[in-house]
Each structure stands twice: as C-alpha cells, then as structure tokens.
Amino acid sequence: MDRDELLRREDEAWSELVDTMAAVPADRRQIAGAVPGWSIHDLVWHCAYWSAYAADVMERLQRGEPEPEEPQDEAAWDAEILATGRSMGWDETIGRLEQNRERARVALSAFADLPDLAVDWFTDDTFDHYEEHAAQIRAFSDAP
C-alpha cells in the first residue's frame, strides 16, 4: 500500500471512529463494558495513546534509531496507560486523540522512502485500531 492509500484508509477509519464516538451519549462514556473492564472513554484514550506511540516510533525510524524495546512488565505499562487516560476528562482525551492522529499522519508523510516498519506501525495503530474499536463502541452503544 502506498502513502496516499494509507492516508486515505486512515481518513476513512478516522471518520467512522469520530461518528461512532459522537453517537455515544455523555452518560454512557464512563460505563465499563465496551470491552471487559473498559469504558468508551478508556477506548478513546487507548487509541490516542497508541497513535502517539506509532508517531514516536516513526519519528525514531526517520532519525535512524531502532524501535523502542517493549517493557519488561507489560501489565504494569498497560495499567499506567489506562490510569493516565482515566485522569483526563472527555474533551481532553478527544483533543489528545486528534493531536496524536495528526502526528502519526505527519510522521508517515515525512518519509522519502516509506519503510515497511513505518507502514506496519501506522496501519496497526491508526486505521486498523480505529476500525476495531469503532466496532466495539458501536456494539456497546447499541446495547440496551
């Protein structure tokens, strides 16, 4: 997939995610159950976090640096990510999601020659992620 196709796919998935989030009533955003133990708010922050992480990785690759190593304790890392998101209000979380989405798009666009690793990070942590979680949000929102 070339850069234009990647950006088009991301834009389509982004629109679906935004529309899906907008349809969630404010009083349902903090209710756990979108996925086990997570609310809609948690899923939105999760997408925000990972799009920023993908941007960080792509920026490292542009500088000729390796990918960061995975943490030794992934459960603690996941808990820290979740706690950070839960400390933010809805508007701040949405703002961070929008900023990080743009950072990922800029980072991808900055490559003269697009390496496979950048394509993988962008794909996994933007449009594939948005599509997966938009479906979960939609299913939760449609539930009685």
Question: Is the pLDDT at 81 greater than 70, yes or no?
Answer: yes
**104: phi then psi, degrees, rounded to nearest 5:** -65, -40
Lowest mean pLDDT segment, chosen from 81-85, 101-105, 119-123, 139-143: 139-143
* pLDDT at 142 (0 to 100): 78
* pLDDT at 117 (0 to 100): 95
- Dist. CA 141–CA 144, nearest whole Å: 8
CATH of the domain at 120: 1.20.120.450
List, in sequence order, every beta strand (DSSP E) within the chain: none
Question: Is the pLDDT at 8 greater than 80, yes or no?
Answer: yes
Range of the domain at 86: 3-142
Query: How many domains does the chain contain in total?
Result: 1
Question: Is the pLDDT at 42 greater than 90, yes or no?
Answer: yes
- Dist. CA 85–CA 109, nearest whole Å: 27
Question: Is the pLDDT at 143 greater than 80, yes or no?
Answer: no
- Dist. CA 61–CA 141, nearest whole Å: 38
Q: What is the mean pLDDT of the chain?
A: 94
Separate counts of helices (H) and strands (E) for the chain:
6, 0
Mean pLDDT of 26-41: 93
Enter the pTM of the model. 0.94
Angle at 96 between CA 90 and CA 98, to 5 degrees: 105
